[in-house]
Structure 1
Amino acid sequence: MVALLTPDLAYADVNEEYVRLSGRTREQLVGRYLFDVFPDNPDDPTATGARNLEASLRRVLTTGERDTMALQRYDVESVDRPGEWEERYWSPVNAPVVGSDGRVELLVHRVEEVTELMRARGGPEGSRARVLEAELYTRARELQEVNDRLREAHAREREVALALQEAMLPAPDPVGHHRAAVRYRPAVGALNVCGDWYDLVDLPGDRIGVAVGDVVGHGLRAACVMGLLRSALSAASRVADGPAQALEVLGLYARSIEGAENTTAVETCVDWDTHTLTYSSAGHLPPALLRVDGTVEFLDRATDPPLGARPEHVPRPQSSAAFAEGDTLVLYTDGLVERRREDIDVGLGRLADALTRHRAADPERLADALLLELLPAGGATDDTALVILRL
């Protein structure tokens, strides 16, 4: 038996098995509130099936995580004999369907019907049925306890990963006489802390290096890999002959780190003496250059595969673009623009539009405006790192 429920706990859809075993037609189910169709028996003060099921569904809505219930006695009113209640036993599992904004859009309510097994308690097989009942109940409780422990472990891992990430991504000191606005926003959900990072490096002359990157994966491991790669790129940028060579060195280093494969990164060198941006990208989304007149140029002429994606070492491409005083450089990770089932050009278009509309804002206010407008209201399912530098 499988039903799809809305966040308001109304039936969105049901399969044929649900219709058959519940004894209701689709018209009696779809569109109606679950507990209007299946309330607890009002004549039985010990009935708790509806209350227990609602508590489980609310947990899924709150946590965004699957919930396995213990075996439930859930009496159902007879369709043919209103006022008469049939003894039923169900073993439910409730799971979320999460939308692109990170919110639970639907609930999958799956039910194992075990009423016949429980009715056998009074027949010749009653002894065996009671044993099976006890085993089934015990197994359901064990699954619930495991689920609770996993939820707690995931929450602790998220806390540790966030603390590690915050320690490695502090607000940067001014680089030379230039100050950048930086932001980091973690993803929603216990498992979704990721490996996004940013970095600013003071270089010889009136130059700085600005980089962002994104490690594949979630949790504490991704945060640890992020720390290693961020430090390595920061060191390589200080001695390399440009962003492309720095990313080449980082790519070679990434091959020796488990979990670093397919990391994306982009680095831009800003030279105020020549008013030139030199950049190279390892599979990352292109930096955006907001001109004083409000036009937006994406720096996408030096894009190569992510770190470790090639079996052999190949020099990475590098390109340059001129900038004028007052232009704004924006580097970001995919959490800011990517959405499920949406072409990336749509997200880049949203970013360009927001940059144009807020072009008069200083970097700090511009950073806040971008996060407010571009991130889903309920929180993103991917981390977001953002660096904004007024040129």
Structure 2
Amino acid sequence: MNGTEPDYAGVFRALPGMVALLTPELVYVDANDEFLRVSGRTREQVVGRYLFDVFPDNPNDTGASGARNLAASLRRVLETGERDAMALQRYDVQIPGRPGEWDERYWSPVNAPVLGPDGQVVLLVHRVEEVTELIRARGGRTGGRARVLEAELYTRARELQELNERLREAHAREREVALALQEAMLPAPTPIGAHRTAVRYRPAAGALNVCGDWYDLVPLPGGDRIGVAVGDVVGHGLAAAGVMGQLRSALSASSRVADGPAQALDVLDLYARSVAGAENTTAVETWIDWEQCVITYSCAGHPPPALLRADGSVQFLDEATDPPLGARVAHTPRPQAETRCGVGDTLVLYTDGLIERRHEDIDAGLTRLAGALERHHGAGPDALADGLLLDMLPVGGATDDTALIVVRL
């Protein structure tokens, strides 16, 4: 190539397998040479046309389901932004130039998204593995037995696809219920008194695993003070959401009567030992005292809060960190630290979905967060929260839930 850009259009045309590109409306944008050759179509018969106008179901076969199954797979890709592999499909293809005649084909499709800068699906990659000749060859060589095996293979593939559909629907229902449960149990993101706050919660993108992230903001007795906390339950689904609700309520109550954040987490630690599924939950509790200009905090295995100073510098509150809840055999008091704060400073609490990435050290995520905070220095709580999510979360969305609280001091 001598340093020149690869001819990606030429590469696409020359790919050895059947590949086509579709818009989200399922209109062909392009198809490679192998796709056109095997399907018996010209480029003019494909590009710019609706998928199921080019390849409709065989009207003579009342049990035909290829188009329906393919449409369901493509909808899943559009809704989740994730790749979807289909079971083996029998898909009769209309023979060009011979009205009413259909060719029996066996295809194994895989559909994948192409995401735009905003994380939305802009194109669909539709790859098809053609296995018709293999099945025909087996049938010609061994006669009736091969046809029986072929029928069994097709039947099992359809059964597997139907089972996968039922599992997807069950997981989707559980995810919907868990999200509703989380929303019902988490406090409304309203200001605390005259203080400016912003709260954001983002479920994991395209995942069936709703997690147990929570946040809390509570007014504290004894002057102009509030408690701000976030936590993360280990596990997924309805069970994690249920544990999350119990722990959030317990910490909210203990914060109102404790002497400080450490004691509030001590009480939560003891309570968590009696709640199934609460082991190794992480949490951080911060108390903001506007009259004394002090932030007091304690952390139970959770990523440290970030304090964005009015001058644009960033300080991580990491001097009072202890293991997660219930992680120690014997209960011991938790550490507590405090730092001075000033007018114009901003306190940011978050869960690990904001900073953690697979195969990456947590320090890299903290460095990325510090840079994002510096870039958005001077923004109000809502603009800062939105800017952090935009900068920190992957284009396709995070693989873990993310809770975020921003408090302007």
TM class by shorter-chain length? 0.7 to 0.9
Q: 2:175 aligns with which of 148, 152, 158?
A: 158
CA distance in 2, matches of 1:106, 1:257: 45
- Seen in structure 2, the aligned counterparts of structure 1 residues 108 and 340 have a Cα distance that, compared at 3 Å, is farther
1:99-140 Cα deviation digits (max 9, x unpaired)? 9x98999999897968556534345x4332232222211111
The residue aligned with 1:311 is 329
TM-score by length of 1: 0.77
Structure 2 residue 108 is the aligned partner of structure 1 residue 92:
yes
Counterpart residue type for residue 156 of structure 2: R
- How far apart, in 2, do the equivalents of 1:128 and 1:155 lie? 40
1:29 aligns with 2:33: no
Distance 1:117 1:185, change over 3 A: closer
Aligned length: 356
Tell me how far apart the structure 2 counterparts of residues 315 and 305 of structure 1 sit (CA, whole Å). Answer: 11
Any conservation in 2 of the 1:68–1:94 contact (CA below 8 Å)? yes
Gapped regions of structure 1 (runs ≥ 5): 1-7, 13-26, 76-86
For 2:188, the equivalent position in structure 1 comes to: 171
Distance in 2 separating the partners of 1:56 and 1:213: 37
Residue 377 of structure 2 is matched in structure 1 by 359
Deviates more, 1:303-312 or 1:228-237: 303-312
- Aligned equivalent of 1:42: 40
Task: Tell me the residue number matched to 1:189.
Answer: 206
Match of 2:294? 276
Query: Is residue 138 from structure 1 mapped to residue 155 from structure 2 by the alignment?
Result: yes
Whether the 8 Å CA contact 2:310–2:345 is kept in 1: the answer is yes
Aligned to 1:4: none
Counterpart pick for 2:246 among 228, 232, 238: 228
- Residues 247-272 of structure 1: CA distance to partner in whole angstroms, max 9, x if unpaired? 12212222222322221110011122
Of residues 206, 216, 224 in structure 2, which corresponds to 1:199? Answer: 216
Question: For the Cα contact (< 8 Å) 1:71–1:136, is it kept in 2?
Answer: no
| Distance in structure 1 (CA, Å) of the matches to 2:394 and 2:119 | 8
After TM superposition, give the deviation of residue 47 of structure 1 in Å: 10
Instruction: Give the alignment's TM-score, normalised by structure 2.
Output: 0.74
What one-letter code is carried by the residue in structure 2 that aligns with 1:381? T
CA distance in 2, matches of 1:119, 1:361: 67
Output the CA distance in 2 between the equivalents of 1:235 and 1:242: 13
Taking the TM superposition and a 5 Å limit, the aligned residue runs for 1:257-296 are 257-296=275-314
Q: Which residue of structure 2 lines up, in the alignment, with residue 387 of structure 1?
A: 405
What is the RMSD of the two structures over their aligned residues, measured on CA atoms? Answer: 3.9
1:69 is aligned to: 87
> Matched residues in 2 for 1:247 and 1:234: separation?
10
Gaps in structure 2 of 5+ consecutive residues: 1-7, 21-30, 42-53, 58-65, 94-102
- Indicate the SS of the match to 2:199: strand
* SS of residue matched to 2:235: coil
Residues 245-303 of structure 1, C-alpha deviations (whole Å, 9 max, x = no match)? 21122122222223222211100111223222111111111001111111110000111
Query: Quick check: 1:327 aligned with 2:325?
Result: no
CA distance in 2, matches of 1:46, 1:94: 16
Work out the CA distance in 1 between the residues paired with 2:358 and 2:149: 44
Residues 37-57 of structure 1, C-alpha deviations (whole Å, 9 max, x = no match) = 2443428x9998xx9798687
Q: SS in structure 2 opposite 1:29?
A: coil
Q: Is the alpha carbon distance of 1:224 and 1:180 closer, same or farther for their aligned partners in structure 2, counting shifts above 3 Å?
A: same
Instruction: Report the Cα offset of residue 369 of structure 1.
Output: 2.1
- Residue 259 of structure 2 corresponds to 241
Q: Distance in 1 between matches of 2:155 and 2:364?
A: 50
Amino acid at match of 2:319: R
Distance 1:153 1:272, change over 3 A: same
